[in-house]
Amino acid sequence: MEDQRDDLVVILAGYADKMDKFFRSNPGFRSRVAHHIDFPDYSDEELYEIALKMLAEQNYSLSKNAEGILKEYIAKRRKQPHFANARSIRNGLDRTILRQANRLFKKGDVELTAKELSEIDYEDIAASRVFQGQAEEDIPVKKQA
C-alpha cells in the first residue's frame, strides 16, 4: 500500500469497538491509516423514520395502532446484543412483513382489500421475539416462494 498510496484508496468500516480491536491486533497498523471517521448511531426517532421509509418503499404503511409499538420495538431492539442500526431495523421489518402475510393467510379464503394487504398492524410487530425478552438475530429472512 505504501508504494501505491497515490493510486489506492482502502476503506475499512465497522463499529468503533470492533475497529479498535482490529487496529490493536497489529501494532503500527493504525498509523498507516491516515483518516479515521466516526459516525454516531442513529437515534430512536431517526430509526423510526428510516423504518417508515423502508416500509413505504415496499408499499407498506403502519396502522395507527402500530405506530407506538414500532417505536417501542426500536427502543428495545437497540438494547440487544448485535444491534446493527438500520440493518437490524430492516431485518425486523422483513420478519414483520412475513408475520403480516401469515396473519392474512390465516383468514382463509376471504377477499382482502388493498389496505389490508399493505398495512402493518400492531400484532405483526408485537409478535416479535424482542417483546418476549429474546434476541432477534441479524440474519436475513428467507422469503418463501
How many Å apart are CA 54 and CA 38, to the nearest integer? 25
The residue ranking higher by pLDDT, 142 or 84, is: 84
SS3 state at 60: coil
| Structural domains of the chain, ranges and CATH numbers in brackets | 2-32 (no CATH), 44-132 (1.10.8.60)
What would the grid cell of residue 2 be?
Answer: 505504501
pLDDT > 90 in the chain, percent = 59
pLDDT band, residue 45 (cuts 50/70/90): very high
The answer for residues whose C-beta is within 8 angstroms of residue 95's C-beta and 6 or more apart is 128, 136, 141
CA 43 to chain centre: 13
Query: Which tens digits make up the pLDDT trace of 49-89?
Result: 999 999 999 999 999 999 999 999 999 999 988 888 999 99
The residue ranking higher by pLDDT, 3 or 117, is: 117
How many Å apart are CA 137 and CA 61, to the nearest integer? 24
Neighbour-count burial for 107-128, b at 16+ CB within 10 Å, e otherwise: eeeeeeeeeeeebbbbebbbbb
